[in-house]
């Protein structure tokens, strides 16, 4: 049976992952079978089982399945364990090994592509779901000074911060207190609020300083609302999740095929088709 790869999620029809992995495979001269498979959280265990039975060797997992995927893995990388969330599955014998490459993908996009120096920065993380949990430890590893986590449901922000276990550097605050938190060099939107077409972000302007970069982990329509706020608030840089998407895919690809693809041409091609929210 030839190995199969796939991305699972719901909805999944518009996922760019099959295209990205096909482009990487062409670069490396690898023949690749990588498809998109729609699955609900309830149906995911069975879908993954049948994928494995038909030659499934690796998978990416996107919303809303990252935490369900975690529960279906037998072994993990330490960063996946910390996040309680996986986006990359690797078949090992008769079980799945889980990793999360979102965090390293984000950091690589910000530092290599956008040439941001994260060291010593104050960072505001909006959200405490699977995506937020994947990126928080990677931001701390990149040398930021302080991570303030704010979530609509405050208990989830507390849990995230507790899991990180660096009380001096990572702390949780209430959404209602955003006005009192001072300013940040990096503001990361890891909420899924922008996926609602009616969404509007109304965040205090006091969060922004002359250096602030605003990052939405989403791309396309889902990033419009947050980046529109960032533009109106005169943030210095605005970054959507397209670069992170390509970088996290490269890290998954590397684990499955033991070679790191060149992300720049793939990113450039996708960027040409996906203008940053608000750009012509």
Residues belonging to the binding site are: 15-17, 62, 87, 102, 127-131, 151-156, 217, 219, 241, 248
Our finding on whether 192 is near ligand ATR (CB under 6 A) is yes
Q: Which of 39, 34, 54 is nearest to 8 (CA)?
A: 39
Residue 215 to residue 217: CA distance in whole angstroms: 6
Mark whether 200 is an active-site residue.
no
Annotated binding-site ranges for NADP(+): 127-131, 151-156, 217, 241
Among the listed residues 60, 151, 172, 251, the single contact to ligand ATR using CB under 6 A: 151
For 81, phi and psi rounded to 5 degrees? -60, -45
Closer of 25 and 150 to ligand ATR (Cβ): 150
Where in the chain does DSSP place strands (E)? 4-9, 34-38, 56-61, 75-76, 88-92, 95-99, 122-126, 146-151, 170-174, 184-189, 208-216, 237-239
Helix axis angle, 242-257 relative to 17-28, nearest 10°?
50
Hey, which residues between 36 and 75 contact ligand ATR (CB under 6 A)? Answer: 63-64, 66
Among the listed residues 40, 50, 75, 153, the single contact to ligand ATR using CB under 6 A: 153
Residue 170 to residue 145: CA distance in whole angstroms: 9
Closer of 17 and 151 to ligand ATR (Cβ): 151
Residue 222 C-beta: closest distance to ligand ATR, Å: 9
Six-digit token pair at 67?
Answer: 């935490």
Our finding on whether 152 is near ligand ATR (CB under 6 A) is yes
How many residues of this chain interact with ligand ATR, rule: CB under 6 A?
17
Residue 141 to residue 104: CA distance in whole angstroms: 9
Among the listed residues 56, 98, 129, 137, the single contact to ligand ATR using CB under 6 A: 129
Residue 176 C-beta: closest distance to ligand ATR, Å: 12
Query: Angle at CA 184, nearest 5°, toward 182 and 189?
Result: 115
Our finding on whether 191 is near ligand ATR (CB under 6 A) is yes
Torsion angle in degrees (nearest 10) through CA of 139, 144, 150, 151:
0
Which residues, 6 or more positions from 245, have their beta carbon under 8 angstroms from its beta carbon? Answer: 16, 17, 20, 105, 219
**Window of 93-101, 117-125, 191-199, 256-264 that interacts with ligand ATR by CB under 6 A:** 191-199
Site string (81-120) toward ligand ATR, x via CB under 6 A? ----------------------------------------
Residues that bind ligand ATR (CB under 6 A): 63-64, 66, 127-132, 151-153, 156, 190-193
- Active-site residue list: 66
């Amino acid at each position: 049976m030839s190995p199969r790869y796939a991305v699972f999620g719901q909805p999944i029809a518009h996922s760019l992952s099959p295209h990205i992995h096909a482009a990487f495979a062409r670069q490396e001269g690898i023949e690749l079978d990588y498809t998109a498979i729609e699955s609900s959280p309830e149906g995911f265990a069975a879908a993954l089982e049948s994928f494995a039975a038909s030659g499934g060797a690796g998978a990416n997992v996107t919303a809303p399945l990252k935490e369900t995927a975690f529960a279906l893995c037998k072994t993990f990388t330490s960063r996946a364990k910390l996040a309680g969330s996986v986006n990359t599955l690797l078949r090992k014998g008769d079980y799945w090994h889980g990793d999360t490459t979102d965090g390293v993908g984000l950091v690589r996009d910000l530092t290599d592509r956008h040439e941001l120096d994260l060291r010593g920065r104050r960072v505001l993380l909006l959200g405490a779901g699977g995506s937020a949990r994947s990126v928080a430890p990677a931001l701390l590893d990149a040398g930021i000074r302080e991570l303030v986590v704010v979530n609509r449901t405050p208990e989830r922000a507390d849990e995230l911060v507790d899991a990180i276990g660096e009380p001096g550097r990572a702390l949780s605050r209430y959404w209602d207190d955003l006005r009192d938190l001072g300013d940040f060099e990096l503001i990361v939107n890891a909420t899924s609020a922008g996926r609602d077409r009616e969404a509007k972000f109304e965040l205090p302007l006091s969060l922004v300083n002359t250096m602030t970069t605003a990052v939405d982990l989403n791309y396309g329509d889902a990033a419009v609302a947050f980046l529109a706020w960032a533009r109106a608030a005169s943030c210095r840089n605005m970054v959507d999740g397209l670069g992170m998407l390509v970088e996290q895919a490269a890290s998954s690809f590397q684990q499955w095929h033991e070679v790191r693809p060149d992300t720049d041409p793939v990113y450039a091609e996708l960027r040409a088709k996906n203008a940053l929210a608000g750009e012509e």
